[in-house]
Amino acid sequence: MAHNKQSSGFTLLEILLVVAAIAVLAGIVIVAINPGRQLGETRNTARRSDVDSVLNALYQYSLDNRGLFPSSTDTNLRMLGTSVTGCAINCGGTASNANSTSSQQSTPTSFLDNSQSTFAGSFSNTSYSNNLLSLSSGQTSGSYTSDVKDAGGSATWSNFSWVPSRPTGKPLPNSSATESGYPNGNMDMNGNVLLLHMDESNGATTFSDSSGSGLNGTCAATCPTSGTAGKFATSLNFNGINQGVFLGSSNLLRPEKTSISLWLKTTDTNPNGSVIYRWRTYGIGFYLGGGSDVGKIKFGAYGTNLLSNTITTPSTYNNGVWHNVVGTFDGNTLSLYLDGVIINSKNMGPIFYQTPGGAAIGRDGNFSGSYFKGQIDEFSLFNRPLSADEVSDMYQRGALSLKYQVKSCAVADCSDGNFVGPDGTNNSYYSENNNSSNTTPSFSLSNITDNRYFQYKSFLDTNNQTLTPEMKSVTISDSVGGTENNQNISSNTASACLDLSSFISPTYITAIPFDPKIGSAEKTYYAVKKTSGGRINIQACAPENSTVINETK
């Protein structure tokens, strides 16, 4: 008798039900074992949404503003928020940038300090206000140390430039050029017929005219000592006995209208006085007074019939410090300026030069003695009267000093680097003493090791407490090797947060979001910066579970 056999086993439906049950149980177990991770992932989802929302809002803002992002955004990574302090944290990680393409080429970037939030370093007798870094009131020297710049990887720091409010510590332009690019104090050298920087090395017997007129100076009798530290680079040091610089007898040196400018430093107390500069014995020039006027500066046209046409300073200037002396003549009126301020003016009518004869510095032009004792630097002569503003500008470019040192570092707080100048030591500085261009300073960086981090220090000095050097902006350029995609770009954010509310809220986003775990409107723990190619990068600074949330658009 036959029996029917029934097969045993699970149907497909039963198997699926069992698998689903196991999955549910596993999920319950996982949550029970590590609920924090799951909650972290939930918050990461919110962070991704927040980053995308801010990124899209900024992108829409740029579309409505001719491709420009809010003016307060720059290449420095800054936390979004309203707080003005305490926003410096380490933020970011390996970038995941779907909008970028991988490249093995170096990526050029730059850092721009030009606002309250980007001047986020430390101040010593200095302050930042009205879009300018300057000395604090009543101070004659101070410094500013920048925050640490993070290139995101080992970088070649290639260029350092800055925009001062006016030329500082900078010699006058050569070849009758006109400066440009400075907010104030651009010098127009139109009419300059003689310019002696006096930067010759020790032992020089010829002193170059940089005006383009070719009126080089030569030794009159004995040469003054060259190569002595001057107001700018070096100067000429006259012994008061037998030294002078003869300028020849060219008609360019005796214009009907003129301006004569120089810097001098002396302690001369010669009771007979001494000639600083003069065209022959009978002509226009400067004189250091003798007798009851010892140490006072005189300016005038000298001769038996012109002695009354002389302006004398009420104060003495033989105090061993540098002073700027400028005399102008407009065809009728003599004017004397000391340290940028007019002392007096006197009407005298036209000058009638006597010939033959020549002009000289440190003695009169006909070699009759009256030798000057002290230093002279940056001598210039124009065939036009300078304005009072031009005279003030000439003084301030010598009275004010703004110089820098830089360092690159391998650690985030830059504690492993030393500030250095162009020669790689702390004895030199990047300054406008080395700026021979007719525009704002820009220097290629040398002796700087390739490192991820960078910092600079600025030194501000003035000879006059009523004046201060001022800096509008600093730009540091670098190039980072490796791929643009998937590079580690974690950075230290600036100490002040970046408030973008007035730009994108509520037009493009209801409100600036903040991290769901530790953020607030004051400190959101989301950070933003511009990148190369006119894009914007936003990072979540506090993602969980080793996750990176970093987007660029």
Confidence of residue 61 (pLDDT cuts 50, 70, 90): confident
What is the domain extent for residue 371?
Answer: 192-398
Residue 446 and residue 444: Cα distance in Å, rounded? 6
What is the number of helices (H) and of strands (E) in the chain?
4, 33
Domain boundary among 342, 365, 398: 398
Rounded to the nearest 5 percent, the helix, strand and coil shares of the chain are 15, 35, 50
In a domain, 23, yes or no: no
Query: Is 500 found in the same domain as 369?
Result: no
**Counted domains in the chain:** 2
pLDDT score of 491 more than 70 = no
**pLDDT tens-digit readout, 392-431:** 999 999 999 999 999 999 999 999 989 999 999 999 999 9
3-state SS class at 20: helix
Of 82, 523, 34, 530, the closest CA to residue 542 belongs to 523
Q: How would DSSP label each residue in 463-498?
A: SSTT---EEEEEEEEEEE-S-STT-B--EEPPSS-B
Higher pLDDT, 551 or 531: 551
Confidence of residue 495 (pLDDT cuts 50, 70, 90): confident
Residue 40 and residue 34: Cα distance in Å, rounded? 10
Residue 165 confidence (pLDDT): 97
CA distances from 362 to 268, 273, 366, 542 (A): 12, 12, 12, 70
In a domain, 46, yes or no: no
Query: Is 430 found in the same domain as 393?
Result: no
CB 477 within 8 A of CB 158: yes
Query: Is 317 found in the same domain as 225?
Result: yes
What percent of the chain lies above the pLDDT cut of 70? 85
CB 433 within 8 A of CB 171: yes
Query: β-pairing, 535-540 with 550-552?
Result: antiparallel
pLDDT score of 154 more than 90 = no
CB 317 within 8 A of CB 338: yes
3-state SS class at 260: strand
CB 270 within 8 A of CB 240: yes
Domain boundary among 374, 398, 422: 398
Residue 308 confidence (pLDDT): 62
pLDDT score of 105 more than 90 = no
| Mean pLDDT within 131-137 | 96
Residue 276 confidence (pLDDT): 93
| Mean pLDDT within 298-327 | 86
pLDDT score of 134 more than 50 = yes
Confidence of residue 451 (pLDDT cuts 50, 70, 90): very high
Q: Using CA of residue 76, residue 82, residue 85, residue 91, what is the dihedral sign?
A: negative
Confidence of residue 128 (pLDDT cuts 50, 70, 90): very high
Query: Is 58 found in the same domain as 107?
Result: yes
What pTM did the predictor assign? 0.70
- State the chain's mean pLDDT as an integer: 86
Domain boundary among 398, 428, 458: 398
Higher pLDDT, 39 or 128: 128
Burial 41-72 (b: 16+ CB within 10 A, else e): eebbeebeebbebbbbbbeebbeeeeeebbeb
Query: Is 141 found in the same domain as 87?
Result: yes
In a domain, 103, yes or no: yes
In a domain, 178, yes or no: no
Query: Is 382 found in the same domain as 359?
Result: yes
CATH number at residue 317: 2.60.120.200
pLDDT score of 520 more than 90 = yes
